[in-house]
Amino acid sequence: MSCIKASLPNSSLKHTFVKCDISSASSREEALSKLGEIDFNPDILVNNAGTSQDALLVRMSEQQIVDLMNTNLVGHMLFTKEIVKGMVKHRVHGSIVNIGSVVGSHGNAGQAAYSASKAGMIGFTKSLAREEPGFIQTDLTSSLPPETRAKWQEQVALNRFGEAQEVASAVAFLCSRGASYITGQTITVDGGLFM
């Protein structure tokens, strides 16, 4: 977060960082309480937390599936619900950006639960927009075996993996005035992996 904070422009714009384990009800409540204490009404929310427990569905325990869904989908929905309540109450015109994954649209062997959670985020994004008028190098993907990474890279039209900063640039655009007429869209930043 310190890198993100350092990259923000020095201006009169108010911004704050609050740590939150999105899968934990008590952590979400604590984060919302901290925002309330400083009388901060967010106008931008980026739902970016995620986890992966890749395995064939028949090998996953019920608890693994529940934990994955709580982090990748349910926690985001419940936190967003509270942020949207504040936006409506304070008449804040805001932006909510949900970060998903291409497997939410296309599926992948060994990722049934993960794919379902990301497909859920796509549906959540589209539904929320109606209610309220690539493969990127991350800690999760860096642990993949070299042969798997090479196989994926061959499928990317740009013949390289995306960087987190490239996703961040898309998020920054979606939160800007230049994107004021974009709503309910799934923005795929994948270098042409799925076209």
* Structure token digits, residue 73: 């989908």
Q: Which candidate in 84, 103, 114, 117 is catalytic?
A: 114
Check: CB of residue 136 under 8 Å from CB of residue 162: yes
Total residues belonging to the chain: 195
Residue 96, classed as helix, strand or coil, is strand
**CA pair distance 195, 186, nearest whole angstrom:** 14
Annotation marks residue 114 as catalytic? yes
Calculate the dihedral angle through the C-alpha atoms of 35, 41, 47, 51, rounding to the nearest 10 degrees: 10
Phi-psi group of 124: left, alpha or beta (phi > 0 → left; psi -120 to 50 → alpha; rest → beta): alpha
Residues acting as catalytic residues = 114
